[in-house]
Structure 1
């Protein structure tokens, strides 16, 4: 989905809903004042992150074609994609799973590995890559996340049409669940949430979850899919209490290292 569940429900494909924000905070306060240099806009929509001078990590459901030889923009400069490596366990759900009760789809989503790597033909020298988080103690950590998806608020939910604005927003949340290869956040109501509490949305897939420690930033996760209970047709994204799941970077450190060593 771009997050998996959202576009899927709207367009039967992998896409996510927007960064949705608190209803009691001015909308413009969620707009990012600057773009993190390591944040990369993928072809089409969604994001990737530069974590080594010539390597980008993203979510696998954003890989719609063979991007080898295509250009990608990094901090206003063009680079050529040499190779894309998709995790062998990156699976797409069948259309049948998008009908009726959400549980079979949710169970399926937890079994997939939504990660891909992109190798560039040359190093990026004008941007500093972000370091990947390797610890296993993500639960309870506050994160800041970014995305260019649509927006809305916790009282009314997301407004899909606003994703066309491509405005970069940032939000905060706390990782409250760690499940194997996944991190999870919940969109808490104003009195419980952080100052810029939010949840991801359509066009935000691959958006980075950033943990800061002693002024150093780490990539701990990337937006992937939304959690749904009950009838899929009745699902309303972006309301308070909503939950989403993110790719857990620390679970794939060994796989990432292996791919980089195999593709010098």
Structure 2
């Protein structure tokens, strides 16, 4: 989970997004999990994706750092060849001048892009169970459980970039504060407003799945994407209480996902 000012600018300018950051009054080991969720996939360079079909992974497009076609993706010690990567045509790279000074124009730009991609493997993933995607648009206010191996820290002092190098798998809770067009957002609360495992994504968490319960079943609702910044970009500190981050809204892209994955089976 990556995040240091630049993190939010994700791949646009070569930075990453943050890791799971926790409350300072929560024991750090309460967020660490040893069993990898069946649908969680670690991407080749950094970040994550979610297995949504035996041969298909959905991820944030900014974690596709180079041409992954033909490259190897290792899952549970077994190598799988990446057959192709389908990037959303609406993905845009932020102009460099927006990454300096007041963040308002950059935030407007970030809301206009589409940070999603699909990765097809040459063979089905063994011993893993895909997760169904959420297709309902009633996400606002719902509690999420999320996962990532990014940077960590606490809400009082913020994320510590170097901690992402351990790639420790953590989980967190939060709830969707807003749901608008292609984005969902969460805010890092504290005290009585916080959930027991309250947290926010950090650098290296990009593409990490946010899961909700819908009609008693786990559904993939979002993917970690970018931080919301107020004020000056250069003075932003990731992972502080009160910070918000935006996530790819899977329900918005359900038809696009269906079109791509169904076409490949014809």
TM-score by length of 2: 0.94
C-alpha change, 1:2 and 1:22, in structure 2 (3 Å) is closer
C-alpha change, 1:3 and 1:26, in structure 2 (3 Å) is closer
Three-state SS of the structure 1 residue aligned to 2:112 is: coil
C-alpha change, 1:4 and 1:135, in structure 2 (3 Å) is farther
C-alpha change, 1:151 and 1:260, in structure 2 (3 Å) is same
Q: Which residue of 2 aligns with 1:96?
A: 97
Q: Which residue of 2 aligns with 1:222?
A: 223
Q: Which residue of 2 aligns with 1:203?
A: 204
Three-state SS of the structure 2 residue aligned to 1:252 is: helix
- How much has 1:263 moved relative to structure 2? 2.2
Q: Which residue of 1 aligns with 2:194?
A: 193
Q: How does 1:1-264 map to 2 (within 5 A)?
A: 6-7=6-7, 12-213=13-214, 215-264=216-265
- 8 Å contact 1:6–1:202 — kept in the other structure? no
Three-state SS of the structure 1 residue aligned to 2:192 is: coil
Q: Distance in 2 between matches of 1:229 and 1:63?
A: 27
- How much has 1:233 moved relative to structure 2? 1.1
What is the Cα-based RMSD across aligned positions, in Å? 1.9
- How much has 1:4 moved relative to structure 2? 9.9
The more displaced of 2-11 and 87-96 is 2-11
Number of aligned pairs?
A: 264
C-alpha change, 1:14 and 1:255, in structure 2 (3 Å) is farther
- 8 Å contact 2:9–2:226 — kept in the other structure? no
C-alpha change, 1:193 and 1:146, in structure 2 (3 Å) is same
CA offsets 1:121-164 (integer angstroms, 9 cap, x no match): 11123211000000000001100000000101011111111111
- 8 Å contact 2:221–2:251 — kept in the other structure? yes
CA offsets 1:193-218 (integer angstroms, 9 cap, x no match): 00000000100000000112465211
CA offsets 1:68-114 (integer angstroms, 9 cap, x no match): 11111223322111000000001111211101100111000000000
- 8 Å contact 1:146–1:207 — kept in the other structure? yes
Three-state SS of the structure 2 residue aligned to 1:191 is: helix
- How much has 1:227 moved relative to structure 2? 0.1
CA offsets 1:16-70 (integer angstroms, 9 cap, x no match): 0111101101111110131102111111110011100111000011112111111
Unaligned runs of at least 5 residues, structure 1: none
TM-score by length of 1: 0.95
- 8 Å contact 2:8–2:228 — kept in the other structure? no
CA offsets 1:173-226 (integer angstroms, 9 cap, x no match): 000101110000000012210000000010000000011246521100000000
- 8 Å contact 1:4–1:224 — kept in the other structure? no
Structure 1: which 4+ aligned runs deviate by more than 3 Å?
1-6, 8-12
Q: Distance in 2 between matches of 1:5 and 1:152?
A: 15
